[in-house]
Amino acid sequence: MLLTAKGRQLLWQQPKGFAASHCRKCAAGWTRTGADGGELTVCLLDREPVLADMTGCDHYEEKQTA
């Protein structure tokens, strides 16, 4: 499903909820920004995009800033 144009469009959305407050700031995650301002946040633990309805994670570790 994610390889289709519709699947890709669903991935490139502004993160909300837990994904916005935690996954974007987690040491085990990284975020890519799309042309239209959408973002794709990927969890390095799962090696998958962060789920939209995610509400918690027992491996959350805030990134260290320089």
Residue 27, Cα to own-chain centre: how many angstroms?
Answer: 12
Nearest 5°: CA angle at 36, between 64 and 22?
25
Per-residue pLDDT of the chain (66 residues; tens, 9 = 90+): 456 776 666 667 777 899 889 998 999 998 888 877 778 889 999 888 888 788 999 999 999 876
Cβ-in-10-Å burial (0-12, 13-18, 19+) of 2 comes to: exposed
The residue assigned the tokens 């995009």 is 49
Predicted structure pTM score:
0.70
